[in-house]
Amino acid sequence: MTAKKGDAMTVAEAQRALGVSKVKIAQLIRDGLLHATPDPLDKRSKLIQRAEVEALKARSQRGASQAER
């Protein structure tokens, strides 16, 4: 599957979008909550689908707002 630039983000971009540490983003990938694929333009980098990051962020925010109740 080929990702367009707007459809995917680097692991570092996902980390910033979620507001988590390098260790936490690695754990999310290892636990299967996010799926990282090699960047076809830079084999040293990995890409994560933007929709996955946004869905995880929405779930996290929903969970935080429910915990405040």
Looking at residue 2, what is its pLDDT? 44
Beta-strand ranges (E) seen in 1-69 are 8-10, 36-39, 42-49
Domains in the chain: ranges and CATH: 7-67 (1.10.1660)
Q: How far apart are CA 69 and CA 4, in angstroms?
A: 39
Structure tokens belonging to residue 56: 């995880």
pLDDT band at 61 (very low <50, low <70, confident <90, very high): confident
| Positive or negative: CA dihedral 32, 55, 1, 40 | negative
In this structure, are strands 36-39 and 42-49 parallel, antiparallel, or unpaired? antiparallel
Q: Give the model confidence (pLDDT) of 2-58 as tens digits.
A: 445 579 999 999 999 999 999 999 999 999 999 999 999 998 999 999 999 999 999
